[in-house]
Structures are given as structure tokens and as C-alpha cells.
Structure 1
């Protein structure tokens, strides 16, 4: 049995980035860049009006004759004489001889004559060629996570393909003869299976949608067969239940028979002590506790960093924050505790009903309160570490 920090270190050392693939920009949201991107063009590619108004050559007069108009998307380059202006719209090409654009709100127009009532500074309201980014300049660095704004930025430069780290295909294997799917009739001795739905939702929250759920009864032969199949078709396998030491817990034996290398088994923590992490080649396997709260806690603390490492993220661990405890927390058994809590700007409250089998408080918690194994007590108003869940 190992400590939490040891387990996290082992996961980081044995999780490798997926291979890089070309992806259409409009399909790359949430992916991580596997290359640095440089601009293929100047942006804007020409001098561009920042306002609806009038382009002119600034002089001493306030009166200008309007000789035409330029809308966005057209290209017209009239030679403006002294005291001449041209009607122009936001995003439109600014004629080479114009040096200023005046907002239409600051102009009084009578037929083809305008009076500038509030003269702007010379050069006002014109976006220079390459003002946002020049051709050949850095656009986005390698390892950038592609947000909606980043997607838009790439698209406005005409970039349609990017090299990103492939997202892992994840299988969820649910074990347990007592489990039935929600929606079916609940017979005596059976319970509704929720871990697969919960884990799929957790995966979607970090952008992983290539998931598939499989189910197996508590039998060694069928468990071994299922794991063998999943190792051939998926990058990461999450197994729910069957990893403890009961008479019908066959997962660990089935993993050994499939030549999965054990990297650790059992962590000195509560909840979630019977947690297995192993690999076969670059395929990762997490055998999670069957109790729902233990399973979800283990996902946030251990599975999430491994998946983010595989996806190409540089920062893979949850960012910890500190808050003052609203009550004394006891830890008499020398285990690292992960307690469901609610925090605000200054304090955190540990919720009641910390049972590993129950999700009722997990459903309203916004953090896990972390009590180290070598801390026997956290006093009221003493700072405690939190892992935010939002």
C-alpha cells in the first residue's frame, strides 16, 4: 500500500501523450496543439475601417465633399483630393490616400457635403495592416488548449487544419452481478448501476466523448475475456468494481492473466483504498472501487491527471486552494482523507454523509477537502487544502 503522492508520481511517470494528428479547426475544440502555429497572412490583411463613418485626408477644413462609398468586402481605392471624403463601413478597405476615419455620429451631412463636428486625431479609427498579427508571427504556442476564441483566431487567419494530440479512446467496464441498467424493473437483490453514467459525464466534462460502456458479471472467465478485448481496442480502460478482496472480485486476477503490469494496488486513503493502476504497452488501466463516491473521488484525483497527460496538457493536476475549516476535522487512522465539502471565498464546510457508497452529498459538493495521512487533526479556522470540483 502506497501514499497518495507516490501514486500520483507513478501515474505521471507512466502516462504518455497520444500521437499527433491533423484535425479540422472546427473539430478541434478542447484539443491540445502539438505544434507552434505561425500566421500565414497579415491580420488584418489591409488597412481596415474600425467604424462606420467617413474616410478622408485630414486638413484644416471641417467641410468635405462625399465622392462615393466603400462597403465591407469590396475593394475601391479612389484618389481623394483635398476636402474630399468617402463613405465607409466597419471592416471596409481604407483608401491609400485616406489617413483618418471619422465616426458617423460626429458628422452632419447635407446631400453630398459633410461637416465634421468633432474632429478625430489623425489616423483615428483605422486598423493598420497586420495590427493583430503580422505574417510569419507567432499565433499560438505548442501545448495551447484550443478554446472557442483560439478556434476563431485560427479561422480568421484562414487556417483550416491544425496538428493536435489525439484524444484517448476510453472504455468503461462495469462489473457486478447485482447491477441493472436504469430504466429496467428493479428486482429484489438488484440495484441500479450508476457508475458508468457518472464516469461518462466526468469524461465529457474534460472533452472526451469517445467512450463506450461494457458490462460483465462477477465471473473470472468473462472478466478476463472482456479485458482482453478492451486492451486491443482502447487507450484507457476504467473498470468499475471487482477490485477488492471479496470472493467474487475477479478483476485483479483477470488483469494479471492479460499481462497487465501492476504499477500500484491499494492506496493509504479514504475513500478508495482498493485502487489498481497498471499498463500494457501504452494502454492504461484503472480498476476503481465499485462504491460510487469512492469511484468518483478516484477519478478526480488519479484518472483525471492521467487522461490530461495523454491529451497533451502541460498542467495535469487539479489546482489546490486553501480555505479555513468551519469545524474541527479529526483523522485518527493515519489515512489521507478526501472529504466532500462546500467552500466559499473564505471558508469550507465538510458535508455530512461521507459514506463511500453515497452520492447525495457529492451531488452538491464543490470541492474535496484533503487531510494528509500524517495530520491527525485540523482545528476550526485552520487552513485546509481543497481540490475544487468546478
Structure 2
């Protein structure tokens, strides 16, 4: 069987990256991927500004100021945030009362905070020296003109939005979202809102996967159910495939009599990239190419399908959107309990805290899903190993 990393690479090499772009309102940009390098159009700030409420002074005139021997300066004006910058030649022995964010007059090079003064109105006594640049925000202190402020492929967050807004940008160039469709296969599946009859189950996988996809920022175009029928599944895939970038199916990939996905891919003229990966759970995962789209076929067992999704969807998504930040986050941590021997590479539900990861249950069946609520990660146990408490392992954190 192919290894996880080799399977991920096969998918990445088979499909190009997203190059379709659009412009969105700055308020819609958070969570989107920037489509080009963005450079500062203006410096932030564009003028020298006060970092404190106090008095704008010439630092050299404050030398020796103390509570015992204050320096006294004449107050020649008050400046508030939003006032125009005062262009003036330096005058000896004067100061301006100034508020935080207000423009510092030309020729003045420091701001004494008001707590170091007597709060004078016409004259002010200074009780501390000021060094040049004290509480002084120079032009471009935050961002200089021409500085790269957002890189192509960077995931935009609320802080990015603030930086772009400081440039006066109303719209942001972003990549179009990944378009995804989901088909859950299985005659046993029942839609929510209907009554269960003997041998039937509610289609939970469809909603679990759909919620992950929507939370990721991708565009979920449809979620469908299909019975175990080669003809019906073939027609449904052919009907829907052109509308999406990736089609995710769940169920029908193992070796049972009604596991029809491999037959369906062959029937419609698709090409298998791989079928079965050296991992547990979700060994029978399959990836295919049809009509230049990716079909990612996951296990039908609830836990296995989520493990498959996390190891393969996020890897493809990060590649497609040219944004490594979208991939799964991993970390080396210490085991808090022993792990029994496994002949195949295992991904085990667990909980990591303070650099130690522990099992939360002895129920590791692919069909058991409820205990994932108590977990925040997957332990990656290499094949043909048994691990001891305090051994170092890699964990992959759940997304959302």
C-alpha cells in the first residue's frame, strides 16, 4: 500500500493550483487567501504623532529637569488628534500641549507625558528630562511606504484587515474559494427528518464532512445521498462533477460486494491515483481524477471518514489555495500512556495538554464517533511499533 505522504503528493502533483481571482469587500476578506503581494501605498502614520497626552518639546531644552529643579517652558498652543500639522520654525523655551495621536509640530522631537509636569496651561514645569524620540511616533513608524504588508498565499485574518484598512483599501484581491460537493453512498442511509426503519441509519457522515468543509472557507455547492447502485452513482457523478473542483464521496470503497466506487470510476472513464493507503483507520481511501477534477473517496465509517478527510482534504486544500497555513497543524509531544504494538500506521484519537498527549478511551473502533468530542488531536503511531509512556510522538490537531 502507498504511504500517506506519497498519496498526498500524488494528489498535489495531479492537480494545478487555484489561479482564479476575485475582489471582495474588506469586511468579507477575513478567512480568504490573498491572491497577490500587497504593498503599502502610504506610510502609517504619514506624519509624526504623539504617543502620549503631554507636551511637545525640544529634548535638548529639558536637560537637567527634575522635581527639585524643574525646567519651565511657555505653552504656545494646544494640538489635538485630527488637527493639521503645525509647520513652524523652532522657538527656544516653548512647548505645545498635545494629545495622543496628534501631529507633532515640525522641529519638536519629544513628548513629555503630562504626569511628569504640573499640567500648566500658559507655562508648564517639567519634572523629568526627555530624550530625543520619547513618546514620538515618526513617519512610517508602523508601516513604511512600499513595505510588503500581505503576501500572496497568506490567509487574511482580522489583523490583516486592520492593516489593509489603514491603507484606505476598500476591496482585497483574493483567490476564489475551493468548490466542493459531497456524495454519501449507501442504501442504508436515511435523511434527517425521516423516521428510521429496521436496518437504516441517519446519514451523519454527510453533515460531519459538510460542516468541516464549510468551516474551512470552501464553498459547499451540494451534498447528496446515493444508494448502492453503479448506474445511479455514475450518473450522479457525471451530472455534478463540472460544478466543483473536488468531489468528496463517503462509503463504497472497501472490498464488500456493494463497494462500487472503483467500478464506478472505471465506468465513467476516470483514472485512479491510488486506492488503499498504509494507515488505520480509513485504509481503503481512494483518490481519482475525472474531467480534470479530484474525486476523494473516503471510508464510510464515521471516525475513519474524518481521519481520511483531515489527512487528505487539508493537504490538497493548502496546495490548491497556495496557502500552507491551511494545512493540518502538527507538534511533537510526549506520550502520557503506553501504546500497544501496531503492524500498520495508526492515527489514534487523543487529547493533548501542556505537551503531553493521552488516550481518552479504549474504544478505537472506526464506527465509534461520540468520544471524539473529548479529543483535540490524532496521535501518529508509526507502523510496526509499540510506544511507551514519555516517548515522543507527532500529533495532528483537529480543525474546528
TM-score (norm 1): 0.90
CA contact (8 A) 2:213 2:220 kept: no
Specify the alignment match of 1:33 in structure 2. Answer: 34
1:238 shift after superposition = 0.8
| Residue 183 to residue 364, structure 1, CA distance change in 2 (3 Å) | farther
1:380 shift after superposition = 4.1
| Residue 383 to residue 124, structure 1, CA distance change in 2 (3 Å) | closer
Specify the alignment match of 1:11 in structure 2. Answer: 11
Specify the alignment match of 2:136 in structure 1. Answer: 126
CA contact (8 A) 2:310 2:328 kept: no
Equivalent residue in structure 2 for 1:319, among 311, 316, 330: 330
2:208 paired with 1:198 = yes
Distance, in Å, in 1 between the alignment partners of 2:94 and 2:170 is 41
Structure 1 runs, 4 residues or longer, greater than 4 Å off: none
Q: Deviations over 1:156-186 (max 9, x none)?
A: 1223344333220111112222222334333
Count of aligned residue pairs for this structure pair: 387
Distance, in Å, in 1 between the alignment partners of 2:71 and 2:193 is 76
Map of 1:122-201 to 2, 5 A cutoff?
122-201=132-211
DSSP 3-state at the match of 1:7: helix
Equivalent residue in structure 2 for 1:382, among 368, 391, 395: 391
Distance, in Å, in 2 between the alignment partners of 1:307 and 1:62 is 64
CA contact (8 A) 1:241 1:287 kept: yes
CA contact (8 A) 1:237 1:285 kept: yes
TM-score (norm 2): 0.88
2:265 paired with 1:264 = no
1:256 shift after superposition = 2.6
Q: CA RMSD in A?
A: 2.4
CA contact (8 A) 1:200 1:211 kept: no
CA contact (8 A) 2:50 2:100 kept: yes
Specify the alignment match of 2:111 in structure 1. Answer: 101
CA contact (8 A) 1:167 1:310 kept: no
Specify the alignment match of 2:57 in structure 1. Answer: 56
2:77 paired with 1:68 = yes
CA contact (8 A) 1:49 1:93 kept: yes
For structure 2, the 5+ residue unaligned runs are 63-69
DSSP 3-state at the match of 2:311: helix
2:274 paired with 1:273 = no
DSSP 3-state at the match of 2:300: coil
